[in-house]
A and B are shown apart, each in its own frame.
Chain A
Amino acid sequence: MEYDDGEEPSFSDPEDFVDDSDQELLGDVLRDKPQEADGIDSVVVVDNVPQVGPERLEKLKNVIQKIFSKFGKITNDFYPIADGKTKGPVLLAKEKKNVVIVWEAPEKQPFKDFGNLRHWLEDPDCRDQYSVIYDSGERTGIFANDVKEPIEVEERARWTETYVRWSPKGTYLATFHQRGIALWGGEKFKQIQRFSHQGVQLIDFSPCERYVVTFSPLMDTKDDPQAIIIWDVLTGQKKRGFHCESSAHWPIFKWSPDGKFFARMTQDTLSIYETPSMGLLDKKSLRINGIKDFSWSPGDNIIAFWVPEDKDIPARVTLMQLPSRNEIRVRNLFNVVDCKLHWQKNGDYLCVKVDRTPKGTQGVVTNFEIFRMREKQVPVDVVEMKESIIAFAWEPNGSKFAVLHGESPRINVSFYHVKNNGKIDLIKMFDKQQANSIFWSPQGQFLVLAGLRSMNGALAFVDTSDCTMMNIAEHYMASDVEWDPTGRYVVTSVSWWSHKVDNAFWLWTFQGRLLQKTNKERFCQLLWRPRPPSLLTQEQIKLIKKDLKKYSKIFEQKDRLSQSKASKELVDKRRSMMEDYRKYRERTFDMYNEQKPLRLELRGGVDTDELDSNVDDWEEETIEFFINEEIIPIGDL
């Protein structure tokens, strides 16, 4: 098979794990390949060669020669022998400038049972899990979120060398190592898969968790792109490697929500690939001159991208349907300085934040162009903002968005509602906010405004159904805010990576009531384990909401029992601690009494065991206390 620029073959590189558990990557083999010598222009490596003993070797050689001389003159060959039989790939040197690696088919691997990968979802108390890295990265723990206090599920030293990531549906925990990535899961967090990518720095998952993408700056060579590798999670196979100029905007490859496509942008080009073939859609990239940014709708196979002004042609935002590549909407924009794309979580709306310098002015103003994706022909409404924008965030599952605008110290937050009647209403604005970030609950309606890092951890908990501030609080020097996947809890934390003292994470309810403070020595990072989408239909969810009162009673009773149990546990614990302490004091008291003669002797017979043991020695002393000072003028003299 040949590999020319411009033509993308869809080959699957077979996997192989030779001899021991070390999964050597193709890259390692490439490094070991024989150097090109004078007169020999290339090497062909042939796989699936039947293992033959010495008596049939000659015949094998003839067959191979016959087949491969079709591709070019064979100048040399090498048949590796082990244990008297041919083993491993056969190397042929021939006169053509190509290299192909084909590998021996492996033996069938025994089925590895990792148990129930969704085990954590079956917790009877519906506790969500979260990962915690602390001890400046030396220790990683998995905890179950219990209202009383975190329950440690698993904890390992040096589990990861840098940080961890959960897969999008929470099935896997990915850890980073010098040699690559490891995936862990199941009840006991066994190692499920390993991907060998020396010096890996970044990782991304496809939304369906079928594929994982890794980046390492070390591995790239001109002939064999290895900077970015896409892997099949279940088989562990390397599916395809890519070059990477800069990892500054990770992920480089963006996935369609159904995992059928992934795309990346390079100079004037948008390349869209299909899975599982890993080949370019329609075998070619799209040329889009000047393309500055793109992103997938999180709900549909639609890509939004924008290009800046080009001479007389205005800047524009385009919505393109895949795989048809139909442009379902184009929006022209004038005097554009910059654009940012913000999709609502379900893909119901797209907000394009447009920074413009209107003609005749020098300042920059911002508009929000709101695309209503679910309506015919995708109408666009514009919201003009008078101040500079600090943060923007859509309500997940909803049709509201929140904006932080203004400049410190006058920062304001505005809440907008995108209504069905074509209007976008400003519901409410609060001024004088200490905030630089917006964190919506994943279920919508509630959000936290946070002033992270330099704003010292100011927090405001808002209910956007009526835009009220439920609570104003503070977690001094907080560096991160993380909602749990159910939207019931919020964690604020002070990471050792950003602040060297007071490293801890605090648990709050969605209403802003502080529940727990957990200090962890050199705490670095907390990540909630995501949940897979609910299996219930919308109708089923509606039914449950209707009967919520009935369910509430049962849960409340359970909570009360659990709380009184906790109180009882605490009371019992205290009782036993007091008892131990009392016993200890009794023991020391006995010894103390025995030593009294010694004490008397050391102090010349003076008994100082009690403060009032020597009343006769006391002197009476009168002490003045300063009560008050009053200046009384004696009238005019």
Chain B
Amino acid sequence: MRPILLQGHERSITQIKYNREGDLLFSVAKDPVANAWYSVNGERLGTYNGHTGAVWCVDADWDTKNVLTGSADNSCRLWDCETGKQLALLETSSAVRTCGFDFSGNIIMFSTDKQMGYQCFLNYFDLRDPQQIEDNQPYLSVPCNESKITSAVWGPLGEFVIAGHENGEINQYSAKSGEILKAAKEHTKQINDIQTSVDLTMLISASKDCTAKMFDSTNLEHIKTFKTERPVNSAAISFSHVVMGGGQEAMEVTTTSTRIGKFEARFFHAAYEEEFGRVKGHFGPINCVAFHPDGKSYSSGGEDGYVRIHYFDPQYFDFELEA
């Protein structure tokens, strides 16, 4: 089946995310507008207007009531998903790089970049306490002195946030005390993306070191490694398959392959760690990939500003590596 092409952004895509049920796909990019799309046919539900700079991250709560975005305009904003109304504006001292709702939808976290003299911080707000929002006072703010956070997701029960750092480390930060509960030092270069499996028990990390790794969310046990020859910008996991997208960001590159369609999403068998397929189509590096929660389709957002939604052919499900 042909992919659905979503053209809603002027600049390169920074993140895409499905809501829990998968009927909506959110996309943010280096332009200030966040979009929500119907994943079934690519029709746009609406936009979230307010940011004044690149938007780095987006998340929706489990009930698809609220949407959260973080931007280079030094703010993290909360929106009503259906109406697009901005519900809260949390200003920061530096760009907001990651953000997300916890399992209950009551607690939000976001991290800020290390820039202009400001540290990287991991901030926690409880949405049930309006005072925190009003005063722009997180109930917990964890400084990250050594290596800044580049990607983060919530743990399965809202007890901790799992963050990936510029130096390749992955740490669990308690949502109560901020202390590091567990740490994994498996990657050798920056973590570009972390995503969880649908049931939140596993996570997959995409790194500049040209690998993606699967970990157990609860104890950060390193389970699998998927190797490529290019830096991995994003990875997602669904049941027994892993999809990865990569290349380099256009800025980092002087002479690289910009031939048409060369940028591919690669599919790996989760248990065998073997690649079994590739899907071409993007005109530049793929910055973000995401599986639909039902595993029957996936989406990719590229440096070219396009989001592509792909529904798998029946053969994809019949495919089994000989074992």
Contacts and interface: CB of A to CB of B under 8 A. Distances in A.
Contacts of B257: 476-477, 502
A582 B323 CA distance: 14
A591 interface: yes
B201 interface: yes
Given A476-B257, A577-B272, A578-B271, A611 B21 contact: yes
Interface string B286-311: 00000001100000000000000000
Interface stretch (A110-118, A171-179, A461-469, A597-605): A597-605
Interface string A584-623: 1000100110010011001100001101000000000001
B156 interface: yes
B157 interface: yes
A624 B43 CA distance: 9
A153 B199 CA distance: 45
Contacts, number: 72
A571 interface: yes
Contacts of B105: 603
B38 interface: yes
Contacts of B202: 588
B230 A598 contact: no
B322 A571 contact: yes
Given A603-B103, A608-B62, A611-B22, A575 B323 contact: yes
Interface string B154-189: 001110000000000000000000000000000000
Given A501-B256, A504-B229, A584-B223, A599 B272 contact: no
B230 A502 contact: yes
A519 B63 CA distance: 45
Interface string A489-527: 000000000010110100000000000000100000000
Chain B: interface size category: 35 or more
B87 interface: no
Contact of B41 (A519, A584, A625): A625
B41 A599 contact: no
Contacts of A598: 157
Interface string B207-242: 000100000101000011000011000000000000
B104 interface: yes
Q: Which of B158, B218, B253, B271 has the most CB of A within 10 A?
A: B271
B273 interface: yes
A581 interface: yes
A574 interface: yes
Interface residues of A, number: 31
B321 interface: yes
Contacts of A609: 199
A602 B230 contact: no
A321 to B, nearest CB: 51
A599 B156 CA distance: 9
Contacts of A502: 229-230, 257
Contacts of B294: 611
Nearest to A503: B229
A322 to B, nearest CB: 49
Interface of A: 476-477, 499, 501-502, 504, 519, 571, 574-575, 577-578, 580-582, 584, 588, 591-592, 595, 598-599, 602-603, 608-609, 611, 623-626
25 contacts: A476-B257, A501-B248, A501-B256, A504-B229, A519-B210, A519-B229, A571-B323, A575-B323, A577-B271, A578-B323, A581-B224, A581-B271, A582-B271, A588-B216, A588-B218, A591-B201, A592-B201, A602-B103, A603-B63, A603-B103, A603-B104, A623-B38, A623-B40, A623-B43, A625-B41
